[in-house]
Amino acid sequence: MRKVITYGTFDLLHTGHINILRRAKEYGDYLIVAISSDEFNALKGKKAYYSFEQRKLILEAIRYVDEVIPEDTWEQKVQDVKDHDVDVFVMGDDWKGKFDFLEESCEVIYLPRTVGISTTKIKRDLTKVNKG
């Protein structure tokens, strides 16, 4: 079995999220999604709309996702790859080059982002609508 892993916050689920999950799953038989814990988001200065448990529940309902695990630190990726026998690490190309160090343990693939959509854009658009 070929295992794939990807990481993210996956808040305010949108077509860009679905696209990356679908494309990541195409690289293997089993997709693991590591989502930022609420505590890790706080360390990064981010606040998700949905809690970790809510985001986990949403992701587990998506047909491309086989397993959801917490991401608690930047450094855990090497251990996750080992612990879960991961063959392929997938991230959006906005992270290109940042995880090349994982090539010692697995294949690293950066996928193009979906143009015109992001959680940041959704939050910005909602703010404009609600203030206008």
Model pLDDT for residues 69-112, shown as the tens digit of each residue:
999 999 999 999 999 999 999 999 999 999 999 999 999 999 99
- Least Cα distance to 70 among 36, 99, 106 occurs for 36
Sheet strand arrangement including 107-111: 67-71, 30-36, 3-8, 88-92, 107-111
- Selecting among 46, 47, 82, 123, the annotated active-site residue is 46
Q: How far apart are the first and last CA of the chain?
A: 52
Question: Has 56 been annotated as catalytic?
Answer: no
What is the pLDDT at residue 60? Answer: 98
- Selecting among 3, 25, 44, 82, the annotated active-site residue is 44
What is the pLDDT at residue 86? Answer: 98
- By CB atoms closer than 10 A (0-12, 13-18, 19+), residue 110 is middle
What is the pLDDT at residue 132? Answer: 53
Query: What percent of the chain lies above the pLDDT cut of 90?
Result: 80
CA angle in degrees (0–180, nearest 5) for 40-27-118: 45
What is the pLDDT at residue 131? Answer: 75
Question: Has 44 been annotated as catalytic?
Answer: yes
Answering whether pTM is above 0.85, one says: yes
Q: What is the mean pLDDT of residues 41-61?
A: 95
